[in-house]
Amino acid sequence: MIRDKIMQLFRRKSSRTIARERLKFIIIQDRTLLSPPLLTAMKEEMLDVINRYLNINRKHIKLSVERRNKKTVLEIVIPVEGIKKKNV
């Protein structure tokens, strides 16, 4: 299972797979009434809050919205490079 996840990181996705993921993303957005601008704004706000406490790599963030068990799931993968030291 872990090996499969690691291998997924190094595999290049085909155009067909990318198109399928985009279409799935658009369909889920329609069902949840999350417009692309709203989703982008929500993502940026969450990242701003997280960035107050952690050093994050914004270039490698992955966002996905999918349906699981009749529920919409928003999943964000954020590479954390370190913890920020608080000024006390």
Residue-wise pLDDT tens for the chain (88 aa)? 566 655 565 566 677 777 777 777 666 666 666 677 887 888 889 889 999 899 998 888 888 777 788 777 888 899 999 998 875 4
**pLDDT at residue 7, rounded to an integer:** 58
Tokens of 66: 């999918």
Quick one: pLDDT at residue 6? 57
Pairwise CA distance, residues 52 & 39, whole Å: 20
Sign of CA dihedral 44, 46, 49, 51: negative
Q: Count CB-CB contacts under 10 A for residue 42.
A: 14
